[in-house]
Structure 1
Amino acid sequence: MAIPTLPRSVFSGFRDILSDAKCLAFYNTHTGESLSTTYSRSGQRVPAALQKINHILRDHRTGEIREIDIRLLDLLHRLAREIGCSQPFHVISGYRSKQTNAFLRHWGGGVAANSLHMSGQAIDIRLPDCCLTDLRQAALSLKAGGVGYYPEPDFVHV
């Protein structure tokens, strides 16, 4: 009698649930950098992973790095689980320096003078295998703050 086997990914998922691991994956559309990391295990932050996240979400125009708010990371983790997507978040804009925010505000319009991007509390994202409206609906369903929907430049702001 053959014993059925499960894919390794199933066991990996169980391990994450049991250990309460929080994982995120990012692709920075401006720098081409990718990152997949576990930033929290059993309720404890993983400092090295958080530093890597801060780096990949840095202001790509100035190179300035700021600590990303853990609540934003937790929101992204919940969003990824809600959608059921294993693809990395494509990052259009993570942290923004004051200089970059002023530049975008002057030239792009629609950028808030006191944008939460400047405090590491907002991010503009898309998921390549997820319809933008589905991403927006999933973000709204979490009821965890404002959600911006920008179909023309193709991103959601959380």
Structure 2
Amino acid sequence: MTNSTFSRRAILRAFAATTIAAAPVMANATGFLRGAGDVRRLRMYNGRAGESLNMIYWIEGEYIAPALEEINYFMRDWRTDGVHEISVRTIDIMSAAHNLMDTSEPYTLLSGYRSPETNAMLRRRSSGVARRSRHMVGEAADLQMQSRTVSQMFQAARACNAGGVGRYSRSNFVHMDCGPVRSWGS
């Protein structure tokens, strides 16, 4: 899957061929759960902290609390070192989209949790930062990959039909959140 767009057939083939699958838990994504396997994994790299994460966080229908705590810490606000609980729905969306892209490369995390102070500072610097950002409540992540284009990441996340997906081609990242299903950007 190296071309810049995913066909519906390619997405379904990627899902059917996998042995380790992750899927969102929202009602719109229940079809992804059927036969999806019994393990969910999240792979990320945080360049600002110089940290890597390759974590199985769900096995046979159960979230693993210590793994979720590690993910919460990994996705902390690097500016303040503030840690916040990250929504398992957001984690599931990130994991499912990663699985659809059929790559072992980890995401590069640009932004996970943001403290209100960090969000306010970013709003002063950019008009593209929401006043009530889902980052402030642990429901969003801004991600990029070297081996996949912004368009490929965007299409994989949208295929999950489970939350908000923003395409930021100029800045080379995709926003994923567990809010209402919607998409934006170019």
TM-score by length of 1: 0.87
CA distance in 2, matches of 1:15, 1:123: 22
| 2:179 pairs with 1:143 | no
Q: Across the two proteins, how many residue pairs are aligned to each other? A: 146
Cα displacement string for residues 74-102 of structure 1 (whole angstroms, at most 9, x for unaligned residues): 11111011111111111010000000000
Q: Secondary structure at the match of 2:72?
A: helix
Q: For the pair shown, which has the larger CA radius of gyration, 1 or 2?
A: 1
- Taking every aligned residue pair, what percent have the same amino acid on both sides? 38
CA distance in 1, matches of 2:67, 2:60: 14
Matches within 5 A, 1:41-80: 41-80=59-98
Aligned-residue Cα RMSD (Å) equals: 1.7
CA apart distance, 1:133 = 0.8
CA apart distance, 1:30 = 1.5
Other-structure match for 1:8: none
Other-structure match for 1:87: 105
Larger RCO, structure (CA 8 Å, separation 6 or more): 2
Runs of 4+ in 1 over 3 A off after TM superposition: 13-19
TM-score by length of 2: 0.74
CA apart distance, 1:138 = 1.2
Of Structure 1 and Structure 2, the greater helix share is in: 1
Amino acid in the other structure paired with 1:69: S
CA distance in 1, matches of 2:151, 2:90: 20
Q: Secondary structure at the match of 1:111?
A: coil
Which of 100, 119, 129 matches 1:101? 119
